[in-house]
Structures are given as C-alpha cells and as structure tokens.
Structure 1
Amino acid sequence: MKSYKILAFLLLIKLSQATASFAQDKIELKREHILIDTGWRFALGHPYDVKKDFYNGTGYFSYLAKTGYGDGAAAPGFDDRTWRKLNVPHDWAVEQGFDKNASLSHGFKAIGRNFPDASVGWYRKSISIPAKDLGRKISIAFDGVFRNSIVWVNGHYLGIEPSGYHGFEYDITDYLNYGGENVIAVRVDVTIEEGWFYEGAGIYRHVWLNKTAPLHIIPNGTFVRSTINNNEALVKASVTLKNDALENDKFNIKQSIVDAKGKVVASGSLQNIELNALTEKEFTIDIPVVKPQLWDLENPYLYQLLTTITKNEEVIDEYKTNFGIRTIRFDADKGFFLNGKRVEVKGTNNHQDHAGVGVALPDEVQYFRISKLKEMGSNAYRCSHNPPTPELLDACDRLGMLVIDENRLMGITEQNLNYLKKLIIRDRNHPSIISWSIGNEEWNIEGNITGARIAKTMQAFAKTIDTTRAITAAISGGIGNGISTTIDLLGYNYVATKNTDEQHKKYPAQFSWGTEEGSTVASRGLYSNNMEKHELAAYDTRQNENFLSLEDGWKHYAARPYLAGMFIWTGFDYRGEPTPFGWPSVVSYFGMVDLCGFPKDNTWYLKSWWTDKPTLHLLPHWNWKGSEGKPIEVKAYSNCDEVELFLNKKSLGKKRMEPNGHLNWTVNYTPGTLEAVGFKNGKKILTDEVKTTSNPTHVSIIQEAIPIEKSTLAILKVDVRDASNQAVPTAVNEIDFQISGPAKIIGVGNGNPTSLEPDQFIEHIDVIQINDFKEKPISNIDDITELTTDLTDWDYAFKQERTQEFGKKVKALIYRGNFDLEDWNDATKITFFYKSIGKQQSIYINGKKIADKLTENKKGNAFTLDKSVLKVGKNTIAILATPILKVQSWDNINADPGLFQVLKPAADWKRKLFSGLAQVIVQSTGEAGEVTLKASSNGLKPAIIKIKL
C-alpha cells in the first residue's frame, strides 16, 4: 500500500508541474491543418488468428475494458520495424493478385472472406507533438478508410468507423505526450464488402492532424449560400463555433469574401459575442456582393470566405472556405437551370478506382479524370454510389462539372441519418453539387410503402440541413409506386422498362432525370465479338431488352425537356462487375473510357452531340490482315451535316447525318486508307482517317495533360509505332519501364478487362521469428563455452521471473534459438531487428559475433546481416546477456529478442499493351532533379522521355 501512495504523490507532483508549465506558457492560437500522409508502417494482420493479428485484444484487460490498454500492434511500444514503409493514401487490395475464388464485385482481387491472410491491414505512425501545444485542441482526421477501422493513439482506443466512405475525426487532446512522440495505430478489416463494386482496402484517402485554440470553428463548420437579385448577390455566411474551454468566452467574428485574385470584395462582422463553456453555436452574417462573378460550367469562378475569430484584438482562429456564387433550380416541365439558363445535364456515373492505383488516387488523378470526361462533352458527374473523396469535388468545382453527391445506404436509424448529415455538412459549400442522392436501386424497398416512408423521412431530414439542392433517388425497378411517388427529383435508371411520359403526366410537379442510362458494354479498340475470349465489339450495341443503346437513350432524353438530362453508366470503366462475363474478366465493360482514361469510340458519339465543337470520328481501325475482301462494319460519329467515305481515295458515298445519330457503311476490306470527310453547309470542314499499319519498329511515350498547377504526378500514354510513325492499334507488345531521378512509378494499366497482370510491383517482405528460444545461466557474458553445446538441459527462455532475487542468483545467461531462411539473391536484404533482453549483451549468428556488449536500448538495434554469415535452412542465434530485473512486481520485462526481416526488392515494372495502348503513372519523391523514364520492348527501339514534374 505504501508504494501506491508514493506513486500517487509523484503523479500529483508531475501534474502540478505540468499545470504550472501550462500557466506560464502562452497557448499557440494559430489553426494548423497538417497533412500526415508520409512515414507510415504497414503489415497484414488477420481477422481471427490472434497470432497473425499481432495478439491484439488478448491482454488481461482489453482496450474496451480499460482506458489506454491497446495491446499487440495497438500498443505504443510495439516493435513495427519489420513492417513495410509506405505513404498513404494506400490501397493494399490493388497490390494483391487475382483469384477465381475471389469476389467478382471486387474484380477477383484476392481479398475478402475467402482470403483472411490478406483481409486485415495494420498501419502505424509516430508523430511528435511539441510541448507548446499543451492547451490546444488537437484531433486526427481520416478522409476515408476502407473499411471497419479501429484507431488508437498511445494505446488509447478512439473508436470504430464501419463505413469505408465517410470521413471521421477523433479528439486526441488528452491522450497526447506533449514534448514527445505519439503513436497512431489503425486496424482495417475488409472481410465484408460494403458495395458491389471494387472498393479497395486501407487508408486510401488523406490523413490530417488538426490543431486549434479551445475556442474554434468546428470541422466543416461554415455554410455559404447566396441569392442573386439583378446585379447583386446576398451571401449568407454561417459559422459554427465551439468553446472547449472550461469557462465562458467573448469574441468577435469577421467574414471576408475574397475574389480569385486575393482581393477582399465584401465583409461583415459580429462583435462582442459570448459562448458558454463546452457548448457550440451557429452564427450567420449577411454579406452583399456587388457585381458578382458567377460560377458556371464555362467559367467556374470561385470565391473564398475567410472567417476570422478574434479576442482582445488577437486572432484565435481562421478558417478558409471555397465557394461559388450561382443559382440552381429544377423545373418539372423544362428541366435544370443554372444561373437562370437551361442546361441539359450530360452526365456520367463513376466509381472511384483508376488503373494501377486502385482507390488510392493521388489528387492530380482526380483532375485528370474530370478533364477526360469534359473532353467528351460531359458536364455532370454522379458519385456512384457513395460519398467521394473531397479532392474529387474540388476538381469538379475548379473545372466546371455538376455533381450528384450520393449517400451510401438508405435508412432512418440514427446512424443512417447521421451519415447523410455528415455527407451534406462536409460537402455543402461545393458549388458543383446540384443534388443530394439518398439512395440507389434499393430493390427490396423502392417499389413499396416501406421505401416510400424511408425516402420521405430521409428527404425531409436532408432539407433540415440544406434547402438549396433538390433531393433525388435512383430507381431501377417499377415506377408509379414506392419511392417514385414521394421523391422530389425522380432518378430513372434505364428507361427501356419505364414510361417516363406516363409518370410525368401522373406527377406533373415532380422533377426528373436519368440517373443511369446506356449501360452499353465494349472492349476498347476491338470490333468483333469473341465471347470465348471475353471480347465485345466497341460498337454501340444494345446490351439486352432491359437497356437502350447509348444513342437511343440519349435520343429519349434529348426529346423531352421535362427530363433534365441523363447520366451514362459509366464514364470510366472500373474493377468488378465484368458484365456479361465472369472470371477471368476482372474489369467492367461499361465505360465511355477505359480504366486508364483511354477513350472508347462511344466518346466521339457523345462529343458529336454533347458539344458544339465540329467532330468527326471513323471506326474501326483498318488492320484486318486475313480478312481481305470480307465485309467490315464502318461507322462515323459526327455532328457534320454530311459525311463522305473514301477507301484508297475512291468514294463509297456521301450520307446525311441524322441529329443525335450516326452513319453506317459496310466496306469490303482492302488494306490502305479509309477516310471520312465531313461537310457543313456544303463545305468540307473535317477529315478523319484510319490506315493499315505495318509492323511496329519503336516505342512511343506521351505525357498527358493534367489541369492543375505544380503537379507532382505524371500520367504517360505508351504505344508502339511503325516506320511511318503510325500508332499500331492492334499491338499487344509487353513494355518494360525503368525510371531514374527523384520519382517512382506507382501504377501501370492498359484498360484490358481480362488482364491478370500486376497493377503494381512492390517489395516483398518476409518476417522470420526465432524458434525454440531457450536459456541457461553462465558465469559472465564472455563465457562462450555454451555456444554449440546440446540444449537438453536448458530451460525455456524467461520461464523464471526476473525478480531481484533471480538477479542475486544469476549474473548472466546465454539464450539460444534458431530461425529458418529460404534461398535469396544478391539484391535481398536481411536485417535483424533486435530488442534488448539484457542490460548488456553480445549476439552471435551461426557462431559468428555480430554485436559485442551492447548496452540496453529501449528503441532496439538493427543489424543488416552479411549473407556470408547465413545459410539456407536452419540458422542458430545465441545471445549472451546480463539480466534485466524487475524493480516493481508489475514491471514488464522484455522477453522478445526481435525478428528477422527478409526484404526482396520489387521486380521491374512492365505491362502489355492492349489495343495498342498502356499507361504508367509516375509520382515525384520530392527531391530536386531530372526524372527520366525509359520504355522498351523486345526487338523495338526504346522510348526515353524527360518527365516534367
């Protein structure tokens, strides 16, 4: 009992010292929003094998029973040095191989219930918190972790987030070691899928450390909306503040509107406001803006709201909010209006994965993808079927793309409605968002009274948070009952099975649009069906009687002004749902562009009728060796009045283009040049041609444009060309990639739905344990007589407690064990990560000394081993040490000597071309210097490019 009183007294003194220090030091007031994506450690765990899951949750007290009892890999002192080093965002699913027993929805990546060894992942990171931060509010925020994540800080359990799509934030203020290191541990479990499409695995969005004063603006705590009257906008700027101090506080609020050049154009303020301790409250200021620049599709002009909180003339918090001034409205008869002008919604549906990188997209890839959709005339994006990463919405704001922001799962429980609220509050300042979607194809409820009730409740709830956008839901089953009778903005999924005119007549006040249409399937660059090889011709062919072709779908919507427009299924291909196939198809066939962003021919149909830009595109390619004299179906997509077709300069006839249509010819194949000539008002304005190419002679690389300043990323298109420098559209060459300079390759792809090639080439780590670890007392640590003796009379290591009494009897020990190694190559690196088991120790491997009389090191030692010391098969380790003894009975003495890490470098990056193309994504590592990429293929002249980053 006496020892406990002494301990309590010492703790009281320490607490008093900390309080005194806090009183003397001024609290840092400036808000900090710190990206902590770098320097993480990662290892795979296990959903039910505790040994493989680092013994987490096996302690006498679990982290759910007592505060601060995170154990195993959640414990702050856990040794993670053998784990892989990486940065987030990270998707470990895309790193896995393919397996026919894996989920079709997830593109047959070997994760999930059938693959427990790859279905739990652990992340750990150490961060330093300065002593001067004591007194601030500090939190850790995750933009998205897929899925079922558990987070600890310094062994303190923070919470579980089951959803893989919603961001979450934990207050860690009171758990931190100020003036020292702090350990974040995250366990992620993807055993169960959340959707029916590829979802990835891991911390696949950004992670932030947020620091504020006790009185501060809450996360996502501003809301900006505007009304426009003549040439003036009235901006209503709301801000929610929280006072985390233990006493009331008085302060001032200033809201300033800053234009794109950084000039303050309007402002408003509230003075001498009081907020009670531990409460939060919203404040609103009306700010007139004269002659505002409106956000629209052609000129997506953004303002910034600067919210400043001051106290005693000192700034204690600042918060920046990007927003746009614009008006939106839906009309039941005339569709959608932006800034008073009718805009035909020309949208695409998209999931969130990309070739090579899975769902862990660098920010620049978001801008690249949106720009590819805009190139084909798309002006709207549906987030299918989950809340997106914030950077996707930023790209839509800056590039001019309308958005349906979609909730993941319908329901009215507190959790369901809280998820919807989080989505709206996080995203409501984005001018690109024109509608909140509460659900998609909920077949079990969408056509019955249960669905109608749920939709009505969710719709009303959404309007309590934001009244500026319409609420939609996507219906694929029958209409005229259920959700379709109560939703403000009806979303039709596939009108081939629905009568939109009848619904409009029955519900004349209801807004409507097509949330999914088209659903055509095609393999990029292939023009004949081969069902055995899972190849589908890239013509716009109706999938089956339940779907319209792309052209027929657009004609339906374009002819009906009451329909605001439509969203194609899909803009980009995505992993999973390889309709109409299964294994070995691993990617969908639906996209207007493939998984890399390479356009399929349908994009030119859309470009013809979704843009005013003169367009002419001829398909297919003209490489049909062995088909001489056989009929080939030829199409032209164009918005010209007429198109004339020529084969080797001989006219095959001129045809007039039907609005929203295309032109067909049947041409007997002859090698050479097929040329289309487009006419407008009788004048030739455009040509397009396809040529028969010869065998490839060289590789070509082109760096694609990314519409963002100071990109740290390069997306490169690779093809092979013939002697005339014509790209060979049928090429399937394998391309090898080598990179030099301060950059790395992070992913490769080619858009082939049946490719089972690796997306990534990463280092391989094996962790080897020490087996049969035994001990025997010796006279001193220089006594090597037991290095090679028989172990029959030895005891198991640490069987005896290391008490003070033990130390009186035993002055030194020898520990012996063994470890197994497989064969290695010259590039393999083998490291022993040792953890001290003695006050002083010497280490021998296979009888050779690798460390002499090391003193105890709490952080451990690392030894890169010379392979001449090692052998394939069983190796021995001996440690001669003076024992570490307990001072108090509850002390924990380390009994783990450590692990061996066998690191095999990544294989060389490579990818086969598909229909003549491949993609490689390169990312800067941050240092200065020139980056060079070499692409080579057997028998061809390589391509070398200096990459601009």
Structure 2
Amino acid sequence: MKIVSVQRIFLSVSFLLSCLAFAQNKSERELILMDKDWRFSFGHLYDTEKDFGHATGYFSYLTKTGFGDGPAAKDFDDRAWRKLDLPHDWAVEQEFSEKGSFSHGFKTAGKGFPEKSIGWYRKKINITETDNGKIISLKFDGVFRNSKVFFNGYYLGTEQSGYNGFEYDVTAYVNYGGENTIVVRADASMEEGWFYEGAGIYRHVYLQKTNPVHVAANGTYVTSQLKNNSTNVIADVTIENKGNYKGSIEIVQTVLDPQNKQVANFSENIVAPEFYQTIKHSSKLYVENPLLWSIESPNLYHLVTQIKQNGKVIDDYETTFGIRTIEFDPENGFFLNGKPLKLKGTNNHQDHAGIGTALSDEIQYYRIKKLKEMGSNAYRCSHHPPTPELLKACDELGMLVIDETRLMGINDYHLNDLKRMMERDRNHPSIFCWSVGNEEWNIEGNIVGERITNVMQNFAKSIDPTRPVTVGISSGFKSGISSVVEIMGYNYLGNGDIDTHRNQFKSQPGMGTEEGSTFATRGIYFTDDAKHYQSAYDRKPRPSFYSIEEGWKFYAERSYLAGMFIWTGFDYRGEPTPYGWPSVTSYFGMMDVCGFPKDNVFYLKSWWRTEPILHIMPHWNWSGMEGKEIDVWVNSNCDEVELLLNKKSLGKKKMQQNSHLEWKVNYAPGTLEAIGFKNGKKVLSEIQKTTGKAENIKLSVDKENVPNSKNTVVTVEVTDKNGLHVPTSNDEITFSIKGGKILGVGNGDPTSLEKDQFLDAISLVQITNFQEQKGVTATLPQELQNYPESDWKTAFKDRDYKNQAPSYIYRGEFELKNNLASSIVSFFYKKIGLETVVFINGNKVNASAEDSQKYILDSAILKEGKNTIHVVATPLQKIKDWDVMNTDPGIIQVITPSEPWKRKLFNGYAQIIIQKEESAKEVILSASAKGLRAASLKN
C-alpha cells in the first residue's frame, strides 16, 4: 500500500517541503493507494452455485445489515483465487470470438458470456486502533460496471455506471486494530457504450482517513478573475462535520505558484457545521503577476486548504488549478488568454493495445504526448467522464479538454452523474467546455431534445458558470438541441449545412465536435476488402463523410468556427467499420491502437505544427511491381517540394495551404527522396529506401514515455543488414523479461486475433460426491485404510453435533483435464476437522510450509479424468447450538502455465508494455524470432 499525501499521488519533494513550512503539524488526512494484492475470480451471471452461492442465504445482504454471503462475507476463503494488482481489465485477457460483441471488439466477455460477465475482487487490509475516531472511507475512481461493494460483510452500495467515481463511508464497520475485508462484485453483462469498455476495477482505489471535520469530497472550487497583471483567486470550500464537535474552526487558504512558492494566504475563523451537515466558505486571495496556464506553458498553481481546531491542523486538502481565460466568439472562434486559438482536436476512447482500459497513469501521459507531437491541442472525452489521471496529464502537458457526461436526461440518474463529473473535474484548467450529450438521434431535432438540453445546460451553469456547454449533433443542424445549445457541436460536414445553420444562429458559436471517420490501415497503401485492408491514403470514406484534408480545410477557412475534433486520435477496440469479424478494432484513428502513426498524422503535423515538416508515402518496398505506377504523396508545410527517384528529378511542385502533393511514379527499387524548400532554399529532405530482407530485431524505448516511470512502452521492429527499418515485415517475435513483468502486447493490426496478454490459466475444480463414514478412533491413519463401501453416506447429512464419532472419513472426487505434467495442482483445504490427514488417489499428502491448509499435489499421483480425495479428521464441535459449521472441504486449484509472450509484427512494428519490479535495479527485455538476430533492452 502506498500512502499519498492529501489529494495527489505524485508530489515533488520541494512541494512537500513548502507545505511543511506553513503547516504547524501533520494533518489527519491520509489517502492510501490500494492497487496492490487483490484476489480475483469469475462468478456467474445467473448460476448461483457458480457465483459461489452469493445472495442465496436466508438472510442475505439486502435483507439484513451485515449478511453479505458467498465472496461478500468477510471470512470467505479466497486463497485459490488469482492474485493481481489494479488497474485490471478482465475483458482484454479473453480470447476473440465471432459470437462476441461487435462494439466491444469481439472479446469473449460481457453479454453473451455469463461465465465471463461477473468478476469478484477481494482485498484484506489492516486498520490500526489509533484510527478509531477518524472517518474512514473507500474511494473508487471507476469500476466497469454495476458494482456492488462490501466491507467486512456489510453492503455499502451499488454504482451502475462504469465511468463514475464513488465513495463509501466505512467508519462504522471497521475492525480497528485488526483485519478488514473489501469486496467488489462487478457485473459487466450490460454495455453502456457502443465501443470497447473493458470490465472490472480498471481505475484506482483508495482508502481515505480524515478528521470528522474535514473538506468534503471534491469540496473545493477555484476560480480566478484576471485583471491586467493581477488576479483574484476565489476559493470556495465545502466543510463537512461527521462528528459531534461544536465550536469554532479556522479556515486557512494558501496559494503556491508553479515554483511552489507561497504567493497568497488567507485565514478566517468560522463556526463548524452541525453533526452530519456541511457549510460552504468562500475566500478571495490576491495574486500578482500570475503565470497563465496555456497549451505552450501549462503553469499550475496549488491551493492548500487547512482546517484548524484550537490551533491544530486537523485537515489539509490540496487543489491544483490554473489561471487562464477562455472565450468563444461567434464571429472569431475560440480565445485562450485573450489570444485566438484554432482548436486542433481529436476524439478518443479510453483503451490501448495490450492492456484494454486498464491504463496506468504513465500510459495516459504517453497518449497525450503522442497527440501533442502530432500538433493536437485539444481532446474530447468520448463519450463519458475520463479517469482523473487523464485530466492531470492534460493539465500538466497543455491539452485542452471537452469533458463529457454519458447520457442525456433530466432526472436524478442523469443530473447526478453530471454533477459528480463537474464537481470532480471543474478545477482542471485544461477543461474549457462541458458536453452534456452526443448524437442523441431520437431527440436531437425535436422539442424533447430542446427541453432536456435547456435543463442540463442550466443545471451545469449552476455548478460551474465559467465554462460553456456543448452537445455533439449529427442528425441535421436545424432545430431541437441545435437551437438552444450554447456552443453548437457539429458532428460531420455531411450531416447538414453548417454555413446555413450559422447564418440562422449568428450569435451561437460553433465547433466541429466530430469530423473525419476516415478508414486507414497503418502501412497499407491499397484497399482489399477480402483482407479487410483500407488504404492509408486520405480519401473520402463514405458519401456523407469527408477526408481529413477536406475537413480541416473547411474549419481552417472559417474564422467563426472554433476548430474541429477528428474522429479519432487513436484506433480503438470495437466498431470495426466498414467491416465486421474478423476485424476487431476501428480504422478511424490517426494512429493505431498502439500509437504508431498512420500517414494522416503527417498531414496534420504539416498544418498543425509550425516547424518544417516533410513526409513521403508510401514505403518503397514493392517487389514484383517494377515499372508499375505508384501513387506517391508528400505531406509538408514547405513552399515547394522536389521529388527524386534514384537521384533523378521527377519535378518540383508548389504546396497549397492545408494541402498535399501527388506524383505518379513508375516503381524502381532504390531511393525515393523529397526535398523541401522555403523561400527558395532547401530546408530539409526525406528519404524512402528499398530495404534488404529482415535480419535484426530492434527494441527501442519510445520518447513519449514518462521519465523514470515503472511502466515503459517499447517499440519492436526489424532491420535489414544496413540497419534500415523493414516496413513490410510480419515476423513473430517472442519475448522474455527479467526484473519486471509484461503488461500487454499489440501491433495495430485491426484483424489480429492474437492474444493481448499471456497469463497463467487458473481454474477452480469442485470436489463432488462428498461422502462420509464414522471412524472408530481419534487416532488418524498415516496410510489409507479399506473402508466398507456400504457405510458411505452423504457427508454432514443429519449430523448429530452433540453425539459425534471420534473421527470421520470423508471421500470425494474431482476431475482433471490435460497438461497434468506442466500444471500446478493444489488443494486448498477448508477446515472440517480439528486434526486432519489428506490422501489423494490413496497417497498421503503433506501441507505446504507456507500454509498449513494448502496441499501442493505432485503430478505423479494425479491422473487425467477422475481423481479421489480422502480426508480423515477429528470433528469440529459446536459451541452454541446456532453455530453454522463448515461443510465445504475446499477446492482444487489448477494453474496451467501460459505459453511465452509473443506477437507478430504488423507492417514492420509491434509494441510491448513492460513494468519494472519495485525491488529491481533494472529490467531486461529480450526478444527473439526464427531467422533473426535476437535483441535485448535494459531499462
């Protein structure tokens, strides 16, 4: 468990020292990250026996308090379950099947797979006696989905949406000075979206401890009023009292600048709120010469809120914020800090190659850095609230954000979700707009949509009046939502006449919330529907959709439009339009699911960045195409470009604004070179060379990785004898690792049905036909005896606990399948006697040294098919008549080791994500393949 001070996981040492400088003593607030050491097992959607008997008791969790049964019970035996760390997505671990969900990437999880739709998580923690008197709560950033949470067998609540963060107070249920059990049951049988959403606890979990008088959850709201060279920072804080304290408290607000120096301070004495009540307090702090937050210089300030009681600090709470101004103008677009800024945005879902939705914090940064490198300055959360770490990355890296709620509506379900999202996220300077809906075709153009939008928009303004509200509209821009939404969100040029709508609503600002939906397979330069290949040349994808170039030109040429958001920045699982099975990911991204760029990235870089850019497509490996015409495109922002084949000029062409250049070139092996000119002078060149055959594996650490992080993204490729990247290679690479573990592998191939993860398979085998007969002595045999067959009867049936035999002999059966020699088979015994001897197929087995109730079974005594287990034990005695005696002898666990990690390259590339062990000095990744020189990487 990792203890985190106040509200942030990553705090610099200098900031901690600054905090200590003005803190009189340590606060009682602790935030403990609880991602380590969970136990996990699948349950079942409707078979209660396969769901471990959950909710079958006479009194279950909804009938009486504290009656969580099955895995929800505090002392349920989960030793045979899989051990894992969070974040975790069980869907990405599954195989692919044509019977799987189209929208969720054909994974064998969720709806249609009841044995893979319920996931149980359990974790044990100790809470000290000294914590008695504090408020103890569990905080979840998100569980997909329909989660039920239990603590020490007590039911805490249900959260339906997989995207909402939620918190439960467990103070009354804590076993102070001892062990406590957290249990989560996630039900991913129903989809919320039409895109891959994963399954399980895919975001962080925390244990929080506070004084009864404390800053409420998401209890600060920081705004600023910028005037000339100074700003007033208005800090609203909600104070909650979950105790009996009555009297005065002191509120201290301190602002630290981006260098962690104190620049403003305010304090005031107020009366504490009443028992289980809250009060709101507002402070105004003056900051001179503020450093503004912008996409180029994302300066971040920190507000530290302290609550003092009798001079002692009882709570402190940190809020990160930025000072900046935003404005939408219906004539001139978007302004940041008073300067016009064209929004160069992308839409994105939340999954990544190899790991699904279980993105570590570092991968969030990695993806935002990839988008920044492309020239993007804005990100739309499509179509749900993001994980907090994504917003943190956008704050720190300088990426504007549209934050979007999941579903439109006017009742508690909808408005409460919107409220929670906004109160959690409204201090992030990266967020410049709230989105309350997307492509709600049933209501977009009618009075119902207009009414709902008016309610949600006004409701949003009551929570945060500093940012505007938008909705993405796609079924025509004529009436309904389009008439009343504050910022018009145009989804696709072909869905209506944007200019006509703008002329009708000239006071309504607008932006392209979705544009593109183009199809491209990375590294493929011809369309082949039989192979599910889509050419990477930027083309109009469908009659009512436009190419990336057409879309950008349209928005770039209209000052009244704030900019556009491309669908999408990255490919994502699911929605493999225009195909279906066996395509399992989308084709829409500017980058594939790994983040490897498609050629459209370079078109955008040419016009979204300012430095000279030059890129040639396609590659120049076309064996068998000699003499045939190849389309050569050049993306650049140079004034002119000259193209040469084997040093012979094919002509110089002028580049038009926001365009590209094309040549028809008869293929000949060798060197294709482009030379870019500005003001008549050569400024850069780009070369595509015909390579030799693949000979060497190359591993490299991507520059977008977070420095010194535990998780590292590694690019895998092959080169020829001269070290040139081979763009057509599809070799299968096998990996091994020391000092760390592999989290996932990918290659960006939309049709790849290879495993994302290679994990040991754990199966739990029930002991069946469990019978007993009485023993005549309490002395336990060391060799299995012959017992009369006629004396066997159903175990524990009609047991007279006041008149038990000296011992009992129990017999049961369990079935084993293949791979006995390689599998690890263990018997996890659940105590049914005081003293016990266990026999497997007539052979006495001994308990393991690590656990006296665990028996690791030698493969030599096991057999495929039916195996027999005997347990001879002296009986447990009832102390009270109503005691419930255990009648379950335990379970057989079979661990089948996985095959080695491997992945085929796709058009020259693959990706592997590795994690360094906490105790390791370095991690060594090795890669090998048939016919290639192996490689290793130290990190």
Identify whether the pair has TM-score above 0.5, normalized to the shorter chain.
Answer: yes
| 1:869 Cα offset (Å) | 2.8
Aligned to 2:719: 721
Assess if the C-alpha contact under 8 Å between 1:243 and 1:249 holds in 2: no
1:842 to 833, 837, 841: 837
Aligned to 2:421: 423
Per-residue CA distance 1:871-915 (angstroms, 9 max, x = gap) = 322222222211112121210111111111111222200000001
Q: Distance in 1 between matches of 2:229 and 2:474?
A: 43
Structure 1 598/940 Cα, relative in aligned 2: closer, same or farther at 3 Å? same
Unaligned runs of 5+ in 1: 1-26
Aligned to 1:820: 815
1:904 to 876, 896, 909: 896
Any idea what SS the aligned residue of 2:79 has? coil
Q: Distance in 1 between matches of 2:26 and 2:152?
A: 23
Does 2:489 match 1:497? no
| Amino acid of the structure 2 residue aligned with 1:774 | Q
Does 2:556 match 1:558? yes
Q: Distance in 1 between matches of 2:928 and 2:268?
A: 65
Does 2:796 match 1:775? no
Any idea what SS the aligned residue of 1:792 has? helix
Assess if the C-alpha contact under 8 Å between 2:705 and 2:713 holds in 1: no
Q: Distance in 2 between matches of 1:707 and 1:313?
A: 45
Any idea what SS the aligned residue of 1:444 has? coil
Q: Distance in 2 between matches of 1:500 and 1:168?
A: 40
Any idea what SS the aligned residue of 1:832 has? strand
Q: Distance in 1 between matches of 2:533 and 2:226?
A: 53
Assess if the C-alpha contact under 8 Å between 1:781 and 1:841 holds in 2: no
Aligned to 2:742: 745
Any idea what SS the aligned residue of 2:272 has? strand
| 1:666 Cα offset (Å) | 0.6
Aligned to 2:362: 364
Any idea what SS the aligned residue of 2:130 has? helix
Structure 1 693/869 Cα, relative in aligned 2: closer, same or farther at 3 Å? same
1:829 to 824, 832, 841: 824
Q: Distance in 2 between matches of 1:781 and 1:93?
A: 50
Structure 1 287/709 Cα, relative in aligned 2: closer, same or farther at 3 Å? farther
CA RMSD, Structure 1 to Structure 2 (Å): 1.6
Q: Distance in 1 between matches of 2:705 and 2:282?
A: 35
Any idea what SS the aligned residue of 2:455 has? helix
Any idea what SS the aligned residue of 1:425 has? helix
Assess if the C-alpha contact under 8 Å between 1:802 and 1:885 holds in 2: no
Map 1:430-829; keep pairs closer than 5 Å.
430-706=428-704, 708-741=706-739, 743-782=740-779, 784=781, 787-804=785-802, 806-807=803-804, 810-829=805-824
| 1:782 Cα offset (Å) | 3.1
Any idea what SS the aligned residue of 2:392 has? helix
| 1:585 Cα offset (Å) | 0.3
Any idea what SS the aligned residue of 1:398 has? helix
Assess if the C-alpha contact under 8 Å between 1:786 and 1:814 holds in 2: no
Aligned to 2:5: none
| Amino acid of the structure 1 residue aligned with 2:764 | V
554-563 or 496-505, larger mean C-alpha shift? 496-505
Aligned to 2:65: 67
Q: Distance in 1 between matches of 2:270 and 2:115?
A: 59
892-901 or 198-207, larger mean C-alpha shift? 892-901
Q: Distance in 1 between matches of 2:323 and 2:493?
A: 34
Per-residue CA distance 1:559-595 (angstroms, 9 max, x = gap) = 1111000000000000001110000000000000100
Q: Distance in 1 between matches of 2:834 and 2:903?
A: 53
| 1:943 Cα offset (Å) | 1.0
Does 2:305 match 1:307? yes
Q: Distance in 1 between matches of 2:800 and 2:106?
A: 51
771-780 or 405-414, larger mean C-alpha shift? 771-780
Q: Distance in 2 between matches of 1:537 and 1:274?
A: 65
| 1:824 Cα offset (Å) | 2.8
Assess if the C-alpha contact under 8 Å between 1:802 and 1:884 holds in 2: no
Q: Distance in 2 between matches of 1:301 and 1:197?
A: 34
Unaligned runs of 5+ in 2: 1-24
Identity of aligned residues (%): 55
Q: TM-score, normalised by structure 1?
A: 0.95
| 1:155 Cα offset (Å) | 0.8
463-472 or 903-912, larger mean C-alpha shift? 903-912
Assess if the C-alpha contact under 8 Å between 2:26 and 2:313 holds in 1: no
| 1:819 Cα offset (Å) | 1.8
| 1:788 Cα offset (Å) | 3.2
Q: Distance in 2 between matches of 1:69 and 1:296?
A: 53
Aligned to 2:153: 155
Q: Distance in 1 between matches of 2:831 and 2:408?
A: 54
Per-residue CA distance 1:757-792 (angstroms, 9 max, x = gap) = 000001111212222111111122436497333433
Q: TM-score, normalised by structure 2?
A: 0.96
Q: Distance in 1 between matches of 2:852 and 2:479?
A: 67
Q: Distance in 2 between matches of 1:818 and 1:320?
A: 58
2:213 to 203, 215, 234: 215
1:932 to 903, 924, 927: 924
Moved over 4 A (4+): 783-786
Aligned to 1:24: none
| Amino acid of the structure 2 residue aligned with 1:863 | Y
Aligned to 2:3: none
Aligned to 2:11: none
Per-residue CA distance 1:526-584 (angstroms, 9 max, x = gap) = 00111100001100000111111110111110111110000000000000011100000
Q: Distance in 1 between matches of 2:728 and 2:914?
A: 25
Structure 1 29/689 Cα, relative in aligned 2: closer, same or farther at 3 Å? closer
Any idea what SS the aligned residue of 1:443 has? coil
Assess if the C-alpha contact under 8 Å between 1:28 and 1:132 holds in 2: no
| 1:860 Cα offset (Å) | 6.5
1:38 to 36, 41, 44: 36
Assess if the C-alpha contact under 8 Å between 2:445 and 2:475 holds in 1: yes
870-879 or 43-52, larger mean C-alpha shift? 870-879
Aligned to 2:92: 94
Map 1:853-932; keep pairs closer than 5 Å.
861-932=853-924
Q: Distance in 1 between matches of 2:263 and 2:37?
A: 41
Q: Distance in 2 between matches of 1:573 and 1:274?
A: 51
Does 2:193 match 1:195? yes
Assess if the C-alpha contact under 8 Å between 2:780 and 2:873 holds in 1: no
| 1:508 Cα offset (Å) | 1.2
| 1:373 Cα offset (Å) | 0.4
| Amino acid of the structure 2 residue aligned with 1:881 | A
Any idea what SS the aligned residue of 1:803 has? coil
| 1:848 Cα offset (Å) | 2.2
Q: Distance in 2 between matches of 1:280 and 1:773?
A: 57
Aligned to 2:167: 169
Aligned to 1:13: none
Q: Distance in 2 between matches of 1:448 and 1:213?
A: 50
1:327 to 325, 330, 355: 325
Any idea what SS the aligned residue of 1:420 has? helix
| 1:802 Cα offset (Å) | 4.7
Any idea what SS the aligned residue of 2:790 has? coil
Number of corresponding residues: 914
